[in-house]
């Protein structure tokens, strides 16, 4: 089992729809959870971080965390063609010997079509 798994893509949604991206992780001591957006040929850009169970909203983005189910998701409301990118889920745990290194999923490609 991979440490971080994302739902297989690609995911295609029409403009204005809600895009839902999912991620599960295997390490129960994971503490911080991140969503990065990566455009083709570019580096990852941090768009959301979440540390506590529940929802966290930032503009059109909502991150949801359920530690009991080891599940984190990202919702993008009113999807725009500019949201078309690869979305990477990343987890880390602070303290001990992990030093906060991020473990990434393989990414989900999102395409928003007009």
Residues within the interface to other proteins (CB under 8 A): 4, 31-32, 34, 36, 42-46, 49, 51, 88, 90, 92, 94, 97-107
Q: Are 25 and 65 within 8 A, CB to CB?
A: no
If the CB atoms of residues 13 and 102 are measured against other proteins, the closer one turns out to be 102
Q: How far is the CB of 46 from other proteins (least distance, A)?
A: 6
Q: Smallest gap, in angstroms, from Cβ of residue 82 to other proteins?
A: 19
DSSP line for 61-104: EEEEEETTTTEEEEEESS--GGG-EEEEEEEE--STT-TT--EE
Decide whether 71 or 104 has the Cβ nearer to other proteins: 104
Cis peptide before 10 (omega within 30 of 0): yes
Nearer CB in complex with other proteins: 15/51: 51
Q: How far is the CB of 94 from other proteins (least distance, A)?
A: 5
């Amino acid at each position: 089992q991979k440490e971080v798994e994302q739902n297989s893509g690609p995911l295609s949604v029409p403009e204005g729809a809600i895009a839902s991206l999912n991620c599960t992780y295997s390490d129960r001591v994971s503490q911080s959870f991140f969503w990065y957006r990566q455009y083709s040929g570019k580096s990852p850009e941090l768009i959301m971080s979440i540390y506590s169970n529940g929802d966290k909203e930032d503009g059109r983005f909502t991150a949801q965390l359920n530690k009991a189910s080891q599940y984190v998701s990202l919702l993008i409301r009113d999807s725009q063609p500019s949201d078309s990118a690869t979305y990477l889920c990343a987890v880390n745990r602070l303290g001990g010997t992990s030093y906060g290194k991020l473990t990434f999923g393989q990414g989900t490609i999102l395409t928003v079509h007009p």
